[in-house]
Amino acid sequence: MTTTTSARPRRNRIAAGLSALILAASTLIAAAATPAHADAPHTYCGLEVLGAIEHRYVQMDGPTGQLGCPRTEELVNPDGVGRRRQFENGTIYWHPQTGAWPVWGDIGERWCQEGCERGWLGYPTSGEYRVGNEAHQNFRCGTIYWRAWPERGTTMTRLSENRCI
């Protein structure tokens, strides 16, 4: 009987701690589910862009940058959590666990051949970056590598191993 009585307060403390942790996590997820929409929206090319997607878009020089003008409103992804906004030359994807990152070009095409955010690669976790004569982009479970061969008039994309297996 002593074991049961002394174990109950510990279980109660653990349960209370877990409840507090779940409440804190759900509050953060709920706040993140609308990507920082507390900011006032700004208009670009006649469409309002806001939150984390706007922040990334502005970092990329907005309508004068690589993405060009926005083409859609912010869309909810099929998982019900992530968001995306399509631009003239690519799309910015946002998820509370990975942030807002652009995807476009041959890397974007290859990513969507693998299922876009619903595929095995998952959401992007970086923008494109250069390593030597290749462009790389990281995703939750892998990396896509792109290389041009001007002398052959071709390009090539390849995938890393699945890091989430």
pLDDT in the model for residue 151: 85
Alpha-carbon Rg of the chain, whole angstroms?
21
pLDDT in the model for residue 15: 53
pLDDT in the model for residue 149: 86
Q: Where are the domains of the chain?
A: 1-33, 35-98, 104-165
pTM of the shown model: 0.75
Return the half-sphere exposure (C-beta side, CA atoms, 13 A cut-off) of residue 90.
24
Q: Which of 110, 114, 108, 137 is nearest to 125 (CA)?
A: 137
Low-confidence ranges of the chain (pLDDT < 70): 1-39
